[in-house]
Structure 1
Amino acid sequence: MSVSPSSLPLSAIVTRLRAAGCVFAEDEAELITSTARTPAETAAMVDRRVSGFPLEHVLGWAEFCGLRISVAPGVFVPRRRTEFLVRQAAALVRPRAVVVDLCCGSGALGAALAEARDQVEVHASDIDPAAAECARRNLAAAGGRVYEGDLYEPLPATLRGRVDVLLANVPYVPTGEIELLPSEARLHEARVALDGGADGLDVLRRVSAAAPLWLAPGGCLLFETSERQAGQAMEVVGRDGLLPRLAASEELNATVVIAAKAAPPV
């Protein structure tokens, strides 16, 4: 049942959110009331959150690496653990580096990397039109270019052999485990952003196979995976001629593979 806009004191919002199972009801109530522009909008946002929509989709933004990243219904919400991937990439970026963000979703990774390092040339692609539109908004300030299409397919051919940092936050949930995901992800994010195929590595295999064609000598492919998939993921990129190493964060429960294209001998 909707609540009249005139009867939505903060305490009432907290009570409704808590009854709906929101663990951080007080924090969520404050975020909703500070984001909503009118009482009616507050009421609508509370109704959507109580109905099970992700908080970020209700607000229209997600916090990531200290930035407010625009997200729309159905678009993958950037996870806090993925901040570790951005930190690993930032350590590799040099001025005027060419960065490509595949499976970019909202464009959060490219936007965060551009914020962390000046003078980078950012390109991003996603097969989902709604995600690509979000990415355009989020990368506008950095002058990033966003392309709609499948992985490398929409990228300009002029980028081949020039990419210094290739970010690919590929879906890596095995198809059989999709139903085990929290309902906020399973019901409200595009399946194409979650489903990694039978073993969770199908999209990675496609990214890895073409990565040597796009990476500059010494350039790196970086992607997130689960701890149990890491060994197999490293074998995948190794077979494609890249030199992988593993980075992990116990604090963020994050596992990242960094796979370099060998530089030619001097």
Structure 2
Amino acid sequence: MDLVARLRAAGCVFAEEEAELLRDADESQVARRVAGEPLEHVLGWAAFRGRRFVVAPGVFVPRHRSELLVDLAVARAFPGAVVVDLCCGTGALGAAVAGAVSSGDSKASPPASSDSSATPSIELHAVDADPAAVACARRNVPGAVYEGDLDAPLPPSLRGRVDVLLASPPYVPTAEIARMPPEAREHEPLGTLDGGPDGLALARRIAALAPGWLAPGGALLVECATHQGPDLAAAVRDYGLAATVHGDDDATTVEGRWPTH
């Protein structure tokens, strides 16, 4: 049986594309994919916004739906901005923001007092609680990577200085985990999927901590499921931020803005 047929028989929807990527793989790698392991874990990298990011077995694979979150962060960042990526996983989201800003894709204007010519990219800080994810992030992120619970390991010197705080936390309700594709629930850590009873347990914690870190006019951006947008926006408002729900065909991001004064 040729590789495409093996992959198709294993239930791979994009068998032809995967076969091309696995063309030079050895039999053990092909067997891992046929057995249901995520393609990204087999290859050792994940494609996100046109770049490849290191990803290891057991680490959450960045999803293309997070591109909305990144686009919003890029639009609000500027050269020299302080950006924090919580629940960073591989670090792909924060790294993509840094790459876009450094290449001039950012649409945001720096504060009048800043010297953008002296700071060609953002000051990026990324955090994850999982040691395996942190190891990947340290290979992907052009900035500081910390291991710990949400904002706990961040330097206190960042308080009141963060221009963009972005996060793609787990937001699948606990009761729905069993209905997820086996590729996710069997090969990615439960902690990267399970968002608690309504899926917003970590997102609410992030909304609560954000005001202590944001600079005047700073933005909090948190990814969630479409139906969770109104509830997360309400939580963001509860902590003093002006909330906006952004969405496209694939994803939803709730934005919270800290007043400029």
TM-score (norm 1): 0.90
Counterparts of 1:33 and 1:244 in 2: how far apart (Å)? 47
State the partner residue of 1:29: 19
| Equivalent residue number for residue 112 of structure 1 | 96
Structure 1 residues 11-47: Cα deviation after superposition (integer angstroms, max 9, x where no partner) = 711121111111211110110124x3xxxxx211100
Please point out which of 23, 47, 51 is paired with 1:67.
Answer: 51
What is the CA-CA distance between 1:95 and the residue it aligns to? 1.2
Return the offset for 1:205: 1.3
Determine helix, strand or coil for the equivalent of 1:33.
coil
Q: CA deviation at 1:102?
A: 0.2
- Tell me how far apart the structure 1 counterparts of residues 91 and 256 of structure 2 sit (CA, whole Å): 21
Distance 1:83 1:215 in 2: 22
- 2:152 is matched with 153
Q: Distance in 1 between matches of 2:245 and 2:209?
A: 20
In 2, distance between residues paired with 1:227 and 1:25? 29
The equivalent residue for 1:3 is none
SS at the partner of 1:222? strand
Q: Percent identity?
A: 58
The number of equivalent residue pairs is 243
Deviation of 1:172 after TM superposition, in Å, equals 0.6
Q: 1:52 aligns with which of 36, 59, 78?
A: 36
Distance 2:88 2:227 in 1: 24
Counterpart contact for 2:47–2:53, Cα < 8 Å: yes
Residue pairs, 1:182-261, within 5 angstroms: 182-250=181-249, 253-261=250-258
Show the 5 A alignment for 1:1-150.
12-34=2-24, 36=25, 42-118=26-102, 119-139=121-141, 142=142, 144-150=143-149
Report the aligned-residue RMSD: 0.9
Q: SS in structure 1 opposite 2:83?
A: strand
Alignment partner, residue 7 of structure 1: none
Q: Which has the higher contact order (CA 8 A, sep 6+)?
A: 2
Q: What is the distance in 2 between the residues matched to 1:239 and 1:161?
A: 19
Q: Report the TM-score when normalising by structure 2.
A: 0.91
Query: For 2:227, what is the secondary structure of its paired residue?
Result: coil
List per-residue Cα deviations over 1:121-153 (Å, max 9, x = no partner): 1000000000001000011xx2x1100000000
Structure 1 regions of 5+ residues with no counterpart? Answer: 1-10, 37-41
Alpha-carbon distance, 1:106 to partner: 0.4
Q: Could you give the per-residue CA deviations for residues 219-261 of structure 1, whole angstroms, max 9, x where no partner exists?
A: 01101111111100000010000111111112xx111111111
